[in-house]
Amino acid sequence: DAKTTQPPSMDCAEGRAANLPCNHSTISGNEYVYWYRQIHSQGPQYIIHGLKNNETNEMASLIITEDRKSSTLILPHATLRDTAVYYCIVSYLHGSSNTGKLIFGQGTTLQVKP
Amino acid sequence: NAGVTQTPKFRILKIGQSMTLQCAQDMNHNYMYWYRQDPGMGLKLIYYSVGAGITDKGEVPNGYNVSRSTTEDFPLRLELAAPSQTSVYFCASSHSNLLGAFFGQGTRLTVV
């Protein structure tokens, strides 16, 4: 499984966009990029995923570079409730020749400040 | 729907005791996972299953066993509990990664 590198911590002002980077320089062609977050020791929550194209849903946007070696999770208007540990994971899609197991790294602790 | 349900929520074990952590999901997901999370650390994959009757080791399987006799249930067995197994244990399930994985609320286990 490809490994990811994330900054250990980041701050963001409430109401501003939070941009969380992730490096995955060894990602293979069939691996997806996933983002999860964990709020105060609760079970992790799925946010978004993508393969090549940029993706957007009601929670966030995911920007993947053209060479796929890095990505950025964007929370467009961060709130205090977005304070959490954010995990970037690369994994194969279920049903492919690999099993798509999710291996978590250390993540980025995002602190949203008033 | 209840989603992913873990029982118990808290447990204290003595060294050498055994126990089973229960995990059940009602979403008909094929894929299920067990993770542990030590204080201040990320999640480590213990075991996972891609369907009933199929299990495989994750990153830290030693000291644990699993079974998957039904689609709904994925119990994690601890034999001969050790202090190093003090952790928070999370169970998760997914249908496919198109929708991401759903996690339970965790079981906080202390071995003394």
Task: Return phi, psi of residue B40, to 5°.
Answer: 75, 10
Q: Which residues of B touch A103 (CB under 8 A)?
A: 45, 59
d(CA A99, CA A9): 30
Nearest CA to CA, how far is B10 from chain A (Å)? Answer: 14
Q: Residue B89 CB: number of other CB atoms within 10 A? A: 23
Are the Cβ atoms of A104 and B44 closer than 8 angstroms? yes
Are the Cβ atoms of A93 and B98 closer than 8 angstroms? yes
**Cis peptide leading into residue A76 (ω within 30°):** no
What pLDDT, in 10s, does the model give residues B3-56?
Answer: 999 999 999 999 999 999 999 999 999 889 999 999 888 899 999 998 899 999
- Decide which of B101 and A73 is more confident: A73
Cα distances (angstroms) measured from residue A59 to each of A22, A48, A86, A104, A111: 18, 8, 13, 20, 17
Lookup: tokens for B49: 């299953």
